[in-house]
């Protein structure tokens, strides 16, 4: 069968989640973790695939994630029938005093950082098993130097830990635009190291003042990202569990929501990409 496809849940798109083109959703843990909520965050629709997206595991920090945060993640995942949990390849917490940075800081591509991040992901996976864990490549506005390139760091991390790759296609496009590397080569190089894959798609904009592409989740998916998405599907055929579209600003009308997710599905069907089950679509 084809990968499951859907939206990252926002209150602004809940009214289209029953669209026949949608059979998956991603829920942000920090939005769903509300003690006053009495119903499932995903609602009463039985989706084929649900994933919980975390923001504060900070897997590259020197210390392991807090057990109470992992327990809460697991609880929300089980309550909503999730198959997986994901977070970002970066750090959001200053280990020295526990202060939250408020953004995802990139990881220096060094052996030391690789060791720390691998250890933390191993711990996360042991605590969350049997839920699958996926690590997302982030968009960054600056790069840290190290002994290896980002693609090599990510390859080694995936190989060491066996975790899944949440391939944010738009983040790859943004970084490639801003730091002058080939996004097609990046995806093709990393993909063989991933056992399982999820995909993020979104639209941003080029900021002329800072001369950078900004991954703002505020615009329709641009043509260049659609093309890179096709490439990612071809590279990851047989590995892709789910594909999610993110939108956080400038929300479209009903037709815009429905048309974009149908385009995501149509392209996946055109490429004839299969999920890890290996079974053809009906």
Q: What percent of the chain has pLDDT over 70?
A: 93
Q: What is the DSSP letter of 2?
A: P
HEC string of 169-227 equals: HHHHHHHHHHHCCCHHHHHHHHHHHCCCEEEEECCCEEECCCCEEECCCCCCCCHHHHH
What is the C-alpha separation between 239 and 130, in angstroms, rounded? 18
Of 88, 86, 94, the residue nearest 24 (C-alpha)? 86
Q: Who contacts 255 (Cβ-Cβ below 8 Å, separation ≥6)?
A: none
State the pTM of this model: 0.93
138, 171 Cβ separation under 8 angstroms: yes
For the stretch 16-66, pLDDT in tens is: 999 999 999 999 999 898 766 768 999 999 999 999 999 999 999 988 899
Domains of the chain: 4-271 (3.20.20.150)
Q: What was the pLDDT predicted at 98?
A: 53
pLDDT tier for residue 281 given thresholds of 50, 70 and 90: very low
For the stretch 154-170, pLDDT in tens is: 999 999 999 999 999 99
For the stretch 171-210, pLDDT in tens is: 999 999 999 999 999 999 999 999 999 999 999 999 999 9
pLDDT tier for residue 100 given thresholds of 50, 70 and 90: low
DSSP, residue by residue, 100-143: EEEEEEPPP-SHHHHHHHHHHHHHHHHHHTTSEEEEEPPP-SS-
Mean pLDDT on 230-255: 97
Residue with tokens 């149509």: 266
């Amino acid at each position: 069968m084809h990968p499951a496809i859907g939206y990252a849940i926002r209150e602004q798109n809940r009214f289209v989640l029953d669209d026949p083109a949608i059979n998956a959703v991603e829920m942000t843990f920090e939005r769903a973790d509300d003690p006053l909520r009495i119903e499932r965050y995903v609602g009463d629709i039985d989706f084929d695939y649900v994933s919980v997206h975390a923001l504060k595991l900070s897997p590259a920090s020197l210390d392991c994630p807090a057990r109470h945060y992992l327990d809460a993640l697991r609880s929300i995942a089980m309550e909503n029938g999730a198959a997986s949990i994901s977070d970002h390849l970066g750090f959001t917490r200053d280990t020295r005093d526990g202060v939250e940075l408020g953004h995802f800081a990139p990881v220096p591509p060094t052996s030391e950082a690789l060791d720390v991040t691998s250890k933390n992901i191993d711990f996360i996976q042991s605590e969350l098993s049997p839920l699958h864990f996926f690590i997302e490549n982030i968009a960054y506005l600056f790069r840290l130097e190290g002994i290896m390139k980002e693609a090599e760091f990510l390859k080694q991390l995936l190989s060491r830990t066996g975790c899944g790759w949440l391939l944010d296609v738009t983040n790859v496009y943004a970084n490639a635009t801003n730091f002058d590397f080939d996004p097609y080569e990046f995806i093709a190089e990393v993909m063989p190291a991933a056992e399982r894959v999820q995909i993020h798609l979104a639209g941003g904009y080029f900021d002329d003042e800072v001369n950078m592409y900004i991954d703002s989740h505020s615009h329709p998916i641009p043509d260049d990202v659609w093309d890179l998405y096709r490439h990612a599907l071809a590279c990851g055929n047989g590995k892709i569990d789910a594909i999610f579209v993110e939108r956080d600003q400038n929300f479209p009308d009903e037709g815009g929501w429905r048309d974009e997710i149908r385009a995501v599905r149509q392209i996946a069907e055109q490429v004839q990409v299969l999920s890890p089950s290996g079974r053809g679509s009906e």
